[in-house]
Copies of this chain bind each other. A is one copy, B any other.
Amino acid sequence: MPAASSAEVFLTPPALLEHWQGHRRLTRRVIEAFPDDRFTTYAVGGMRPFGAMAVELLRMAVPTLKGVLTGTWDEGMSNDLRPKQEILRLWDESTKELDALWPQIPAARFAETLNAFGQWKMRGSDLILYLVDNEIHHRGQGYVYLRSLGVEPPAFWERG
Contact = CB atoms under 8 A, between A and B. Distances in A.
A90 to B, nearest CB: 22
Given A12-B6, A13-B8, A44-B148, A137 B139 contact: yes
Given A103-B4, A107-B4, A133 B23 contact: yes
A63 B76 CA distance: 42
Contacts of A146: 45
A106 B144 CA distance: 38
A45 B139 contact: no
Given A11-B110, A44-B147, A140-B141, 11 more contacts: A1-B69, A1-B104, A2-B106, A4-B102, A6-B14, A10-B11, A10-B12, A44-B144, A45-B146, A45-B149, A134-B156
Interface residues of A, number: 53
A44 B46 CA distance: 14
A86 B5 CA distance: 35
A138 B137 contact: no
Instruction: Summarize A's interface: helix, strand, loop or mixed.
Output: helix
A129 interface: yes
A73 to B, nearest CB: 17
A103 B4 CA distance: 6
A105 to B, nearest CB: 6
